[in-house]
Amino acid sequence: MKTKTLCASALLFAPALLAFQPRATSIAFTVSEGTSNTKTFTNSMTMSLDDMQMLLNGNESPMMPQIDMTIQSGLTIGVSDEYVKMGDGAPATLKRTYDSLEQTREMEMEMDIMGQVQNQDSSTGSESELLGETVIFTLSEGEYVPSFAEGEGDEKLLENLAEDLDLRGLLPDGEVEEGAEWKIDPIVLKDILVPGGDLKFIPEEADGEDMMGMDSEMGDFEDWFSDDIEGEILATFTGMKETDEGKKVAVITISVELANAVDLTEKMQEGLENADLPPEAGDMEMNSMDIEMELEGEATLLWDLTAGCAHSFEMDSEISLLVDMSMSVSAQGMDMDIDQSMEFSGSMNATASIE
């Protein structure tokens, strides 16, 4: 009798007990075929020069200037995407129109040489021939092949474009319970901080003058990220929330620690050869150009469970940069070797929104 009573009690309370068990949540990319949305990515960065060392022919220069420099850069990318055909957890065919492509860079510098102070500001905007173009990304043998929707266009514009602006690389494998953690491949963040791949930005003529070419010596932001990037990105599913628009979203917090070293010697030498330098500049040769970058920050990804896609992303981070350069100059009958080291630090913010 007691056994039957215990069994009956267990059956009676079983539903209530199960209700208190943790439930797994599926956070996955499940956009319906034929869906269209718009995506906007922004990236802003501010860095200041912390230290600078320079050697001329292996010796410290008696006229080493004191320099205060701040560099600001901004990037805005807007696209309209249509998921023409869906595959397993990713588009099989994606139609993308590039609605807005803006890139800016500003530099403020004050140089003090033996009491003589010079102030110099410069600003540069960049434009892209991809603006207004529509590109089809077709999945073939595990890779996306881009082509122009109209069938014709400059094929060079299609080189090294990236399809994934869905933040799919940040998602967990399978269902997860609240509090679950997973690691993300560092290369995934490159696709977020440099969204869309090589968008063929071409700088316009600078407003102002970049003294000593110091701004251009650092390369572009996308140059600081290579496939060899190292570090740790840890994601945590912290629960559910409702947005102001009434959407039910999963909240994923992400901690980021990245480091990368790149060799830009070849690119900088090519830039010297193509630069419109005055005759008195003489002959210049870039012997070496190395950049070491470190980035640490926190990010939040909101994932729309109903739509099956990202709702928004935001990351705030601190960034530091070490630039080492060596070059040889022959001008006005003199040969000179210049070794220069610059240390920068600052902050970077990256956002994404999907509607």
Q: What confidence score (pLDDT) does residue 83 get?
A: 97
- What's the rounded Cα separation, in Å, for the pair 323 and 223? 12
- Token representation of residue 4: 């039957």
- What's the rounded Cα separation, in Å, for the pair 119 and 121? 7
Taking only the tens place, the pLDDT of each residue in 72-103 is: 999 999 999 999 999 999 999 999 999 999 99
- Token representation of residue 263: 């060799």
- What's the rounded Cα separation, in Å, for the pair 105 and 203? 9
DSSP E strands: which ranges in 162-282?
181-184, 201-203, 207-208, 230-242, 248-263
Question: What confidence category does residue 158 fall into, taking pLDDT thresholds of 50, 70 and 90?
Answer: very high
Q: Is the dihedral of CA 244, 309, 167, 148 positive or negative?
A: negative
- What's the rounded Cα separation, in Å, for the pair 250 and 171? 11
- Token pair 């073939």 is found at 140
C-beta of residue 70 within 8 angstroms of C-beta of residue 47: yes
Taking only the tens place, the pLDDT of each residue in 334-345 is: 888 888 899 999
Average the pLDDT over 130-151 and give the result: 94
Q: Provide the whole-model pTM.
A: 0.84
Q: Is the pLDDT of residue 267 over 70?
A: yes
Taking only the tens place, the pLDDT of each residue in 191-240 is: 888 899 999 998 886 555 544 444 455 666 677 777 788 899 999 999 99
- What's the rounded Cα separation, in Å, for the pair 177 and 26? 9
Alpha helix (H) residue ranges in the chain: 2-19, 186-193, 265-274
**Three-class SS of residue 280?**
helix
Q: Is the pLDDT of residue 35 over 70?
A: yes
**Three-class SS of residue 192?**
helix
If one counts every other C-beta atom within 10 angstroms of the C-beta of residue 167, the result is 24
Q: What percent of the chain has pLDDT over 70?
A: 85
- What's the rounded Cα separation, in Å, for the pair 131 and 337? 42
Any bridge partners for residue 146, and if so which? 137
- Token representation of residue 208: 């102002």
- What's the rounded Cα separation, in Å, for the pair 293 and 343? 10
Average the pLDDT over 324-340 and give the result: 84
